[in-house]
Amino acid sequence: MTLEQTLPICVAGTWRLGGGERYATSYPATGEPVAWLNAASLDDVEAAVQGAHQAFLHSGWAQRKPHERAAVLYRIAGLIRERAEELAQLQRQDNGKPINETRALVASAAGTFQFFAAACETLEETITPSRGDFVSMSVYEPMGVVAAITPWNSPIASEAQKVAPALAGGNAVVIKPAEITPLLALQLAQICEDAGLPKGLISVLPGKGSLLGDALTRHPLVKRVSFTGGTRTGKHIAHIAADKMMPVSLELGGKSPTIVLDDADLDHAVAGVLYGIFSSSGEACIAGSRLFVARALYEPFMARLTAAAAQLRVGDPADERTQMGPLISAGHRESVERYVALGLAEGGRLRLGGERLSGGAFDKGYFYPPTILEGLGNHQQVCQEEIFGPVLVALPFDSEEELLQQANDSLYALAAGIWSRDYKRAWALGRKLQAGTVWINTYKQFSISTPFGGWRDSGLGREKGRLGILQYMEQKSLYWGMNDQPLAWAGVEATQ
Ligand code: NAD
């Protein structure tokens, strides 16, 4: 890939220039272009969906035995691993995450394909207890064309979580990656083809979501949308889906509470809270962005946390020691800055950070330091809205009752963290917290075998887990008559 080239996009197995505007993706650490490509056009959406539908009907993929589909998914996992370093470096350039993080995302994508290959070949259909002279069964069928719409913050890992189970289920997939981070989805499509996936079963349509994602969601041949992104976009998609009676899964935003009880192991809690909010520069749906600390511990804990946060290494994403890279774009950094200004206007105080980094390499990229705000109430806007940046709001609490009320007082309910040495206390609190995922004495740890998703404005449906494959399949009940007599109701006697 050279900078002068315009990258082709993948439209139902044909690699060609998109029909939309030419644009560059840029490296957030320098603002310099990484690659040029043409966005997809509405005609490309139509061609991708029609091609996917034809491939679904005629490629034989849907009819392959599960272990045969699994063999292709295992090969995809293998090719991702073979190309891991190249993919991680490209991902670093595409979205500016530190190299250690992009390596982990690539490894996670390979693991996801491996997991869903195994889930595919071991998925069981059931014979249900019969209540008559028939055998009754519950089986699963592929849906057809599935759309995977993904955000910019974890490319390849997000796409893998949708593409792997959708392909395992026998479907065709059209990916609409975030406009600003399309490169890894294109690589993934190439890898799928190299692994022997029949052409047409995967397409990648980079460009504007309001145009392409919308058209894809509305398309009558698209039978399911799996979306990860902002809550507002998710609700828009849900409305379209309601009109089509189409199932959707929505992985949306968060404002997750992370709670330090007065008996917490402080070394663990400091490390966990730091990682929870500042890794990925806070550009994570599950970021632990609301910190609740027992009042008795508040000052000593905040002093340690602030000192440790001030030591985080912000800078060059290519440097293996870097813990925080730049934010994704100039516009997003401005949005983070507006939230910090709002927090101050709401009466908050800065404990750390709060001003963009400058000088040297910081002048070119979109860097923002770890920032801690305090002196605010949970009801205030910066405590209620997702900032999606390295901004932590810290609040002391007096009783567990008050804590629980505040922690659950959010439109979002994606994740939560608890730090305590008392396992019974942590268990009781963990069961009362309203969130799709609760971490106890750890944070932001994931396993592909464990379901993930949000409550309320954080989403609908679950990804991951062995049964994640079923969201890309339609359930069907089969009754198979075993009676050698005609059905009695009609009064027809068997002739022999
Ligand atoms: P976004 O909602 O702006 O965009 C997400 C995707 O939707 C992009 O591909 C975009 O082009 C597309 N899109 C935009 N408008 C659309 C429309 N009208 N119809 C169809 N598609 C459309 O989100 P973003 O800014 O890319 O990502 C950040 C958000 O994603 C944050 O809110 C974050 O919390 C959320 N997120 C959630 C999870 C999760 O698993 N819960 C994971 C990562 C990110």
340 and 324 co-located in one domain: yes
**Do 210 and 294 belong together in one domain?**
no
Active-site pick, 179, 193, 251, 374: 251
pLDDT digits 0-9 by tens, 165-204: 999 999 999 999 999 999 999 999 999 999 999 999 999 9
Q: Which of 285, 286, 450, 464 is the pocket-test mutation for ligand 1 (most atoms within 8 Å of CB)?
A: 285
Tokens for 295, please give them: 């009042």
Q: What is the CATH number of the domain that holds 358?
A: 3.40.309.10
* Whether 285 is catalytic: yes
For residue 341, give the 3-state DSSP assignment: helix
In a domain, 452, yes or no: no
Helix (H, G, I), strand (E, B) or coil at 347: coil
Widest Cα–Cα separation across the chain: 95
CB 479 within 8 A of CB 134: yes
Distance CA 468, CA 449 (A): 9
Contacts 24+ apart (CB under 8 A), 489-493: none
CB 441 within 8 A of CB 265: yes
Separation CA 358–CA 337 (nearest Å): 14
Q: Is 86 designated active site?
A: no
Note the pTM of the prediction, 2 decimals.
0.97
Main-chain phi, psi angles of 177, to 5 degrees: -75, 170
Ligand 1 atom with minimal separation from the 229 CA: 30
| Residue closest to 189 by CA, chosen among 22, 18, 15 | 15
pLDDT at 355: 96
Amino acid at 40: A
The predicted-structure confidence for 329-386, as pLDDT tens digits, reads as follows: 999 999 999 999 999 999 999 999 999 999 998 999 999 999 999 999 999 999 999 9
Domain shared by 105 and 170, yes or no: yes
Confidence (pLDDT) at 493? 82
Residue nearest to atom 13 of ligand 1 (CA): 209
Q: Quick one: average pLDDT of 227-238?
A: 98
Query: Is 446 contained in some domain?
Result: no
- Rounded mean pLDDT of 146-168? 97
439 closest CA partner among 310, 243, 288 = 288
Residue nearest to atom 26 of ligand 1 (CA): 151
H/E stretch holding 395 reads: strand 391-397
**pLDDT value at 421 more than 80:** yes
Indicate whether 230 and 339 sit together in one domain.
no
Phi-psi region of 60 (alpha: psi -120 to 50; beta: other; left: phi over 0): left
Report DSSP state, residue 213.
I
Residues of the chain with pLDDT > 90: what percent? 96
Query: Measured from the CA of 207, which atom of ligand 1 is nearest?
Result: 11
Across the range 46-58, mean pLDDT stands at 98
Residues 247 and 326 in one domain: no
Q: What is the mean pLDDT of residues 103-125?
A: 97
**Span from the CA of 348 to the centroid of ligand 1 (angstroms):** 29
Element (H, E) at 456: strand 455-456
* CA-463 nearest atom, ligand 1: 40
List the beta bridge partners of residue 127.
137
Active-site residue, selected from the candidate residues 159, 193, 386, 463 = 463
In a domain, 205, yes or no: yes
HSE-up of 74 (CA within 13 Å, CB side)?
11
Instruction: Quote the CA–CA distance of 69 and 64 in Å, as a whole number.
Output: 6
Same domain? For 36 and 90 the reply is: yes
The CATH number linked to 217 is 3.40.605.10
Question: How many domains does the structure of the chain reveal?
Answer: 2
- The whole domain housing 432 covers 257-440
Mean pLDDT score across all residues of the chain: 97
> Has residue 494 been placed in a domain?
no
What is the Å distance from ligand 1's center to 414 Cα? 15
Residue 404 in 3-state DSSP? helix
Answer yes or no: is pLDDT of 238 > 90: yes
Same structural domain for residues 182 and 211? Answer: yes
Burial of 496 (0-12, 13-18, 19+ CB in 10 A): exposed
Whether ligand 1 lies within 6 angstroms of the CB of 396 is answered as no
379 lies in the same domain as 469: no
> Which pLDDT band holds residue 481 (cuts at 50, 70, 90)?
very high
- What does the pLDDT read at residue 3? 65
Is 492 part of any domain? no
Same domain, 47 and 176: yes
Nearby residues of 1 by Cβ (< 8 Å), 6 or more positions away: 7, 35
152 burial (CB, 10 Å; 0-12 / 13-18 / 19+) is: buried
Identify whether residues 287 and 202 lie together within a single domain: no
The predicted pLDDT at position 1 comes to 59
Enter the tokens of residue 381.
């806007």
Q: How many CB atoms lie within 10 A of CB 212?
A: 26
For 476, the enclosing helix (H) or strand (E) is strand 473-481
pLDDT of residue 2: 61
- Does any ligand 1 atom lie closer than 6 A to the CB of residue 463? no
Options 120, 192, 285, 383, the catalytic residue: 285
CB-CB contact of 55 with 198 (8 Å): yes
Residue 484 domain-assigned?
Answer: no
* Average pLDDT of the segment spanning 101-126: 97
Helices 183-194 and 84-95 cross at an angle (nearest 10°) of 160
Same domain, 232 and 374: no
Question: Would the CB of 435 count as within 6 Å of ligand 1?
Answer: no
Paired with 257 in beta bridges are 290
Residue 210 CB–ligand 1 contact under 6 Å:
yes
In the residue annotation, 192 being an active-site residue is answered as no
In a domain, 127, yes or no: yes
In short, whether 285's Cβ falls inside 6 Å of ligand 1 is yes
Structure tokens belonging to residue 461: 């449906």
Q: In this predicted structure, what is the pLDDT of residue 496?
A: 63
Neighbour-count burial of 416, counting CB atoms closer than 10 A to its CB (0-12 exposed, 13-18 middle, 19+ buried): buried
Q: What is the pLDDT of residue 305?
A: 98
> d(Cα 79, Cα 89) in Å, to the nearest integer?
16
307 lies in the same domain as 193: no
Ligand 1 neighbour 388 (Cβ under 6 A): yes
213 Cβ closer than 6 Å to some ligand 1 atom: yes
Distance 177 CA to ligand 1 centre (A): 9
CB count within 10 Å of CB 222 equals: 24
CA of 112 to the centre of ligand 1 (A): 21
The verdict on residue 60 lying in a domain is: yes
pLDDT level of residue 492 (50, 70, 90 thresholds): confident
Task: Specify the pLDDT at position 494.
Answer: 78
Confidence at residue 491, expressed as pLDDT on a 0 to 100 scale? 87
Give 296-338 pLDDT, tens digit per residue: 999 999 999 999 999 999 999 999 999 999 999 999 999 999 9
